[in-house]
C-alpha cells in the first residue's frame, strides 16, 4: 500500500509538472495511470475530464465528471463540470440535476446561478429565469471586480431582469386599466406606488429621521395639497412676501450660511456648502423663537406664517426662513431630523433649470405654488441657472398627528431640554 501511495505521489507531481510544461500527452498518461491505481482520484478525474472536454470528446468528459461528482459531491465545481458536459450532450435533464446539486453544495455560487438561469432562459421559462438572474445580480461582486467573461454574464442577468420587470409592469398597467377608470375619482397613489415598487420602476424610500422618529406615519414624499387648505392664504400673499424679501435683500444684512458645522465635526457630503454663501438663509424664526430684528422687516410674512400649524418644540422648531441658492449650486442628497413635522416650500424667485427631488419624485418649483414634504426622506435640490433662487421655507406639524400627540411631543421636547440643560439645542 505504501508503495502505491508513493507511486501516486510521484506520478501526481510529474503530471502537474508536465501539464505546466505543456506536455499534455505525457500528463494524460500519468493521470490515467493514477486512475488505475485509484479510480477515485479527484485531481486525475478533473484533469482528464477537462482535457477530453477541451478536445471535443464530450462523452469521455461526461464519464470523468460523473465519477468526479460522486467522489467530491460537496464541491460545486465538480457538478458545474458535469453540467457543462451534459450541456455538450444536449442532456437538459442531466444539466438541470447537476446544477441543482451544485447549488445545494453552495447556494450562492455565481457560476452555478448563471448556468441555471441560462438553462431556464433556453427552456423559455421566463419567470423562473428572471428569479435566478435576480439572484445572480444580488450575489455578484461589483462589475469592475469581475473578469470579462463573468462581467458579460452578470450584465446580461441585470438586463434580463430589467426587461422582465418592464414587461411585467406594462402587462399589469394594461390589465388594471379598467379598474383605474372605474375608480378614477379616488386617491390611487399608494396602490400605483405599490406596483411601481414591485416591478422596479421606483426605489423604496423610507423615513430616515436623524434624531426623532415617530412610528406609524406614512412616509409620503409630497403630501396632497388639499390636506393644507390654510396654504391658500399664504399662496395668495406670495407677492407681498416676495416684496418684503427683496427689501431685505437690498439691505444685504442678516444673511448667514445655511450650514455652519463646527470644524471638528465630519462635514461629509456638505463639505463644499459648509459656511458657504452659495446656500444661505435669512431667518425669521429660528430654534422655536422669532428673530426680532428680522421679523420686524417682514411683518406681512410673519402675519401669514401665523396661520400655519407651526410645531411647538422649544429650542428646535418652529423655523421659518428665506432660503437662497446661488447659481450653479447643488444641495446634495440628505435627510432631516424628525418626521413629526413636515417642511413647506413657498417658491418666490425661481429661474429656469432649478429642480427638487424627494425620493422617487422630482418637481420644479413654480412661484406662488406651495408644497409640503417629508424631509426625512432622501431629497436634494439644484440651481443650474445663472440667477438666484429664493424660497420661503417653514415647518408645520405632520398633519396625521392628533392634537394629543402634538402636545405630548411638545412635552417631550421640554423633557429633553430639561435633561440636557436649557442652554442646549438638540438640532435644527
pLDDT (average), residues 393-399: 97
What is the maximum span of the chain, computed from C-alpha positions, in angstroms?
A: 103
Q: What is the pLDDT of residue 428?
A: 28
> What are the cell numbers at 159?
438586463
Q: What is the mean pLDDT of residues 275-297?
A: 96
The CB density around residue 386, as the number of other CB atoms within 10 Å, is 11
Mean pLDDT for 126-136 is 95
pLDDT value at position 426? Answer: 35
In this prediction, residue 403 carries a pLDDT of: 95
Low-confidence winner among 113-117, 234-238, 414-418 (lowest mean pLDDT): 414-418
The residue-averaged pLDDT of 304-315 equals 96
Domains and CATH numbers, the chain: 2-162 (1.25.40.10), 225-420 (2.60.120.330)
Asked whether the CA dihedral 275, 278, 284, 287 is positive or negative, the reply is negative
What's the whole-number mean pLDDT along residues 89-97?
95
The enclosing H or E element of 420 equals helix 403-420
pLDDT of 37 over the 70 cut: no
Q: What is the pLDDT of residues 183-196, one digit of tens each?
A: 998 889 889 999 99
Task: Note the pLDDT of residue 189.
Answer: 85
DSSP 15-34: HHHHHHTT-HHHHHHHHHHH
pLDDT more than 90, % of the chain: 72
b or e along 402-423 (b: 16 or more beta carbons within 10 Å of the residue's beta carbon)?
A: eeebbeebeeebeebbeeeeee
**Predicted confidence (pLDDT) at residue 6 exceeds the cutoff of 70:** no
DSSP 322-376: EEEE-TTEEEEEE--SBTTEEEEEEEEE--SSEEEEETTEEE---TT--EEE-TT
**Rounded average pLDDT over 81-98:** 94
Residue 129 has pLDDT above 80, yes or no: yes
Contact 306, 237 (CB under 8 A): no
pLDDT band at 17 (very low <50, low <70, confident <90, very high): low
pLDDT tens for 159-184 read: 999 999 999 999 999 999 999 999 99
Q: Which of 68-82, 131-145, 223-237 has the lowest mean pLDDT?
A: 68-82
Reported as half-sphere exposure (CB side, CA atoms, 13 A), residue 81 has a value of 30
pLDDT at 271: 86
* CA angle, residues 75, 78, 15, in degrees to nearest 5: 105
What value does the mean pLDDT take over residues 348-375? 97
Identify the pLDDT of residue 45: 67
Amino acid at each position: 500500500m505504501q508503495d502505491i501511495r508513493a507511486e501516486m505521489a510521484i506520478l501526481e507531481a510529474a503530471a502537474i509538472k508536465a501539464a505546466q510544461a505543456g506536455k499534455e500527452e505525457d500528463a494524460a498518461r500519468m493521470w490515467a495511470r493514477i486512475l488505475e491505481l485509484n479510480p477515485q482520484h479527484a485531481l486525475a478525474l478533473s484533469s482528464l475530464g477537462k482535457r477530453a472536454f477541451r478536445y471535443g470528446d464530450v462523452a469521455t468528459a461526461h464519464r470523468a465528471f460523473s465519477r468526479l461528482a460522486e467522489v467530491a459531491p460537496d464541491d460545486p465545481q465538480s457538478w458545474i463540470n458535469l453540467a457543462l458536459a451534459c450541456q455538450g450532450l444536449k442532456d437538459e435533464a442531466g444539466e438541470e440535476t447537476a446544477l441543482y446539486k451544485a447549488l445545494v453544495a453552495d447556494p450562492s455560487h455565481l457560476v452555478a446561478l448563471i448556468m441555471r438561469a441560462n438553462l431556464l432562459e433556453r427552456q423559455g421559462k421566463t419567470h423562473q429565469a428572471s428569479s435566478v438572474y435576480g439572484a445572480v445580480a444580488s450575489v455578484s461582486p461589483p462589475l469592475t471586480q469581475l473578469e470579462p467573461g463573468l462581467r458579460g454574464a452578470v450584465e446580461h442577468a441585470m438586463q434580463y431582469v430589467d426587461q422582465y420587470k418592464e414587461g411585467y409592469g406594462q402587462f399589469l398597467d394594461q390589465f388594471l386599466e379598467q379598474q383605474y377608470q372605474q375608480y378614477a375619482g379616488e386617491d390611487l397613489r399608494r396602490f400605483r406606488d405599490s406596483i411601481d415598487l414591485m416591478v422596479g420602476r421606483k426605489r423604496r424610500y423610507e423615513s430616515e429621521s436623524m434624531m426623532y422618529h415617530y412610528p406609524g406615519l406614512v412616509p409620503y414624499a409630497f403630501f396632497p395639497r388639499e390636506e393644507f387648505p390654510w396654504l391658500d392664504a399664504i399662496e395668495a400673499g406670495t407677492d407681498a412676501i416676495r416684496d418684503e424679501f427683496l427689501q431685505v435683500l437690498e439691505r444685504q444684512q442678516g444673511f448667514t450660511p445655511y450650514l455652519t458645522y463646527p470644524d471638528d465635526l465630519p462635514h461629509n457630503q456638505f463639505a463644499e456648502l459648509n459656511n458657504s454663501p452659495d446656500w444661505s438663509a435669512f431667518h425669521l424664526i429660528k430654534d422655536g423663537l422669532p428673530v426680532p430684528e428680522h421679523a420686524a422687516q417682514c411683518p406681512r410674512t410673519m402675519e401669514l406664517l401665523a396661520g400655519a400649524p407651526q410645531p411647538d418644540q422649544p429650542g428646535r422648531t418652529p423655523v421659518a426662513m428665506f432660503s437662497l441658492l446661488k447659481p450653479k449650486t447643488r444641495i446634495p442628497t440628505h435627510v432631516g431630523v424628525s418626521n413629526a413635522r413636515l417642511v413647506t416650500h413657498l417658491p418666490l424667485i425661481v429661474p429656469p433649470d432649478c429642480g427638487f427631488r424627494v425620493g422617487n419624485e422630482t418637481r420644479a418649483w413654480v412661484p406662488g405654488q406651495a408644497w409640503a414634504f417629508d424631509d426625512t426622506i432622501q431629497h436634494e435640490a439644484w440651481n443650474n441657472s445663472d440667477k438666484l433662487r429664493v424660497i420661503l421655507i417653514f415647518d408645520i406639524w405632520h398633519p396625521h398627528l392628533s392634537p394629543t400627540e402634538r402636545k405630548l411631543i411638545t412635552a417631550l421636547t421640554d423633557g429633553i431640554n430639561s435633561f440636557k440643560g436649557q442652554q442646549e439645542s438638540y438640532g435644527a
